[in-house]
Each structure stands twice: as structure tokens, then as C-alpha cells.
Amino acid sequence: MKIDGSYYSNVLNRYKNYVAVLPDSINEKTKVLFLLHGVGSDAATWSLNVPLVRFANTYNTAFFCPDAENSFYTDHADGEDYGLAIGQEFYQQMKQIFQMDFSYQNVAIAGFSMGGYGALLLGLRFSEIYSRIGAFSPAFVFYKKERQEAHYQQVFSKGDYESENDCVTVYKNLLQRNKCLPRIEFACGLQDPLCEQTQKVIDQIKSLDPMAQLPFYKQAGFHDFSLWEKDLVRFLENEGKEENENE
């Protein structure tokens, strides 16, 4: 079942659209996965490119897709706090609208490109909400800082390296405070320049936390849904494997 909805965001002071895709039968084992889109996309992008309706029934998972525009899922200095709006408020809105199990172990977040970066950033920032993170071709773009592009300066107006927008720094802060860390999976195409950037982020996290389990799935390809559909299926199937191992 696919639902095109909207809600009023008090954080952003306007109505925002979303897409929800639910299994035909919701039960106590139905999982919740928030799916984030990339630059130039919107709430409908996942459902238009991936058979979410079929996946919802196959994997007994409810998908919730917000519209974050080209925000990079960060809080901006001008008050456009997309990180808070998507990472926390959107979760709260979906929990209020849909009567399902939104408990910690049942909720995950994933995304592609900008949304892959956003999934990692928000999954760590709101680690009390999300128990799993899927970062598909994550747009770790701090290396573009020297280009001084207007969009970069807007979305990272509160900082990049060693700031609240630096996933490694957020991870480090969670470690120092002995907070629970979500399980994280990375994926990227071998022909994608972001593959190198992703490996650098993984290496930095492992230098902080040598025991961290950070699987990185690589496959031939560049930066498109021919990869991200496979990444999503793997992420969903890995959840099932983990459940079986824990039984």
C-alpha cells in the first residue's frame, strides 16, 4: 500500500510531503525503515525507482520517505533546521499517524547519495531512535570545501570538518559519552569517486573504535538505482539474518 501524504512541520514552519509504503498486513513483526533521497530528488524518488510495494510485503517492512529538498539533512545557520526536521520531527509525525511498533530495535534509517550521508549523520545524531543505518553511496563531500560553492556554504553553514555535520565527530562524541551506537552498513559503486571518500570515513571511525563492525559492500557501477536497489535488498535481508541469529 502506497500513501502520498503531508504534515505540518513546526521546525520548518510549512507543510511537507512524504510517501509511506506499508505491507498489506501490519503485525507485531513489521519493521520500520526511513528512506532518505539524494540531491535533486524528493519523497517519491525511492518509490518511483524501486518496487517498494513488493518489498514491503516480502520483507514485512514499512517505508517512510520524507522530502528534504537539497538540504543535506543538516541544520542551517538561517534557521532551516532540516536535520532536526527529518531526523526527529518526521519520525515523531509518522509514529503519531501510523499505529505501529516504532521502538528502538524496530526502526532503521537508510538513504542514497546525499541521503546516504544524511542517514549516517541523523542515525548517529539521533542514535536513541535508529538502531540500524544504511549509507548507500554516501555523499561525503567535504573534499569540495575549497571550491567555495554557494550550495555547500549554505548546507554546511554550521560547519563541516570536526563539527556537528561531521559524521566521524558525531561518532566520536557518542563513544566518549558511552552512548549506544547503531549498527552501520556502507555500500558504494567501485567506479564512484565517493567510494574512496567512504573508505576514508570508515578508516577514521575505526581509528576511534577499532572493534567497530562496519561492513562495506562494493560492487561494479557508478552512482544510480541499479546499485541502490541491490543495496536496499541486502540491507533488508541482513536484518532478517540478524534476527535469526538472535533467536
Residues 102-116: tens digit of each pLDDT: 999 999 999 999 999
Write the pLDDT tens digit of every residue in 161-220: 999 999 999 999 999 999 989 999 999 999 999 999 999 999 999 999 999 999 999 999
Question: How many other CB atoms are there within 10 angstroms of residue 128's CB atom?
Answer: 11
Domain ranges in the chain are 2-246
**Structural domain 2-246, CATH architecture:** 3-Layer(aba) Sandwich (3.40)
Spatial contact of 109 and 122, defined as CB atoms under 8 Å apart: yes
CB environment 89-117: b (16+ within 10 A), e (fewer): bbbebbbeebebbbeeebbbbbbbbbbbb
